[in-house]
Amino acid sequence: MKKTISEVAPGWLAGKTVVVRADFNVPLMGARVTDARRIRESVPTIELLTHAGARVVLLSHLGRPERETKAEFSLAPVATELAGLLGEPVTFVSSPNGPPAAEAVRRLAPHGVALLENTRFHAGDETNDPELAAFWAGLGDLFVNDAFGVAHRAHASTSGLAEAMSARGGEAVAGLLMARELRFLEEALHAPERPFMAILGGAKISSKIGVISALLTRVDRLLIGGAMANTFFKAMGLHTGSSLVEDDSIDLAKKLLREGRERLLLPVDCIVAHQIAARVPTRAVTRDQVGDDDMIGDIGPKTRALFAEEIGKAKSIVWNGPMGVFEIDGFEEGTVAIAHAVAAACDRGALGVIGGGDSGAAVDRAGVADRVTHVSTGGGASIKLLAGGRLPGRDSLTDRG
C-alpha cells in the first residue's frame, strides 16, 4: 500500500513547500475552460495543504503541444478557473521550469498556490528527463501525486519526480483524488462483491485486449458493445456491412469467444444507418440482418433491455467505453441506457465504477454521475489498471510504513 497525504501530519506541513502533480488536462474554448470537473476533483487536496499552512506548487500538462510552447495549450485559463473554485488567488508562472519558476516559488507565501505552465512545453517531461525531475523535486519538501489520469505514464512530472524526491530524502505520497481512484478501482478488481460484471465498449479490441483477457478470468459476466462488437460478429460469421471492423483481430476475437463462453455477452441487435452522421435515418435490426450498405452505430433496443437486466443482477460493476457513437444524435441511446442501468444498480446498493474517458462523459450526458459510486478521471490509467498493468505514477510513491 502507498502512503497518502492524509497520513502526513498537518503540523509538519505548516511552512513547507509541497509540489503537487495534478491533472488539469481539461477542454478549452479560447481562454475559457468548458469542463472543470478535473480541476474540481483536485481542490480537496489543494485545500488540505493550504489550510495546513503549506505553500502549494502545482504541475500539470494540457493537451499534446508536441514538446513546444504553444499559446493554445497554456494553463493560464486553468489558473483563473482554479482561483474561482478556491476563492483565493493563484499565481500563474509562465514557465514550467528554470529561474522564473524557482523565483516564483521562492516568493510564495504560506497558504499560497502557484501553477506552473504546461509541463509538456518542456521536451524532458515526456522523456522522463532526470534533470528536469530533479529541478521540480528541488522546489519542495514533499511531492503529492494527485494525477491519476496520467498514472500510467512514466514522465518526469510523475514517476520521475517521485523518484527524485525520494533521492533527496523526501517522500512522495498519493493525493486525495489518487487515493480515492486507486481504492475504488482496486476494490472492484481484487475483492468484488459478486456477481461481478464488466462492461466494455469503444472501437477496437486490439486496444483493450489486455483488459478483456484479464477480466475474463475475474468476472461473472462481460458485456461487449461499441464497434469492438462488430469484430466479434464477423468472427462469428455474421455480416457487418460497411461497419468498422478490425479484420486483423478476427482470430483474436474467435479465441476470446472460446475462452469467454457464457460469460461473454454480445449485442443481439443493432442500430444501423447508411452513414454515421447526425439525424440520418436509422433502423433497428437483429445482428444477423445487417445489410451490405449498413453501418452499425449503436446497440439496439433488445440489447439495451438484455444488458439492463444483466446489470440489475450485479453487485459490482466496472464500465469502460461507450456502446455506440454516443456523441452523434441518433446513436446515443444505447450508451445512455447503460448509464441509467448502472445508476439504478447503484441505487440498489451495487458498486459502480466508471472508467473515465468517454464513459465518464456518458454518465454526465445521461445525468446520472451523482448516482454511480465513482467516476474515474483517468480513462487510460483505468484501462491499464483493469488489465493488470503497472502504473508508474502509483508504483513510484512511498510505501506505507
DSSP codes of every residue in 106-158: HHPPTT-EEEES-GGGSTTTTTT-HHHHHHHHTT-SEEEE--GGGTT---III
The answer to whether 113 and 50 are in contact (CB under 8 A) is yes
Nearest CA among 292, 322, 301 for reference residue 229: 322
Q: Is 204 marked active-site?
A: yes
- For 150, phi then psi, to 5°, come to -120, 20
What b/e sequence results for 4-32 when a residue is b if at least 16 CB atoms lie within 10 Å of its CB, and e otherwise? bbeebeeeebeebbbbbbbbbbbebeeee
Pairing of β 196-200 and β 221-224: parallel
The answer to whether 249 and 206 are in contact (CB under 8 A) is yes
Q: Which of 53, 210, 241, 380 is catalytic?
A: 380
Q: Which of 140, 226, 357, 378 is catalytic?
A: 357
Q: Which of 204, 218, 365, 371 is catalytic?
A: 204
Q: What is the DSSP letter of 398?
A: P
Q: Which of 2, 21, 38, 304 is catalytic?
A: 38
CA 292/CA 73 separation, integer angstroms: 43
Q: Is 208 marked active-site?
A: no
Q: Is 357 marked active-site?
A: yes
Q: What is the DSSP letter of 356?
A: S
Q: Which cell numbers hold the place of 394?
A: 502509483
CA 376 to chain CA centroid, nearest Å: 5
Q: Report the residue count for the chain.
A: 401
CA 188/CA 172 separation, integer angstroms: 25
Q: What is the DSSP letter of 159?
A: I
Residue 78's alpha-carbon distances to 63, 82, 93, 178, 213, in angstroms, are 13, 6, 12, 20, 38
Region of 357 please: left (phi>0), alpha (psi -120 to 50) or beta. Answer: left
**One-letter amino acid identity for 228?**
M
Q: Which cell numbers hold the place of 241?
A: 456491412
CA 329/CA 13 separation, integer angstroms: 50
- Give the 3-state secondary structure of residue 189: helix
Q: Is 175 marked active-site?
A: no
CA 128/CA 25 separation, integer angstroms: 19
> Catalytic site residues?
38, 204, 357, 380
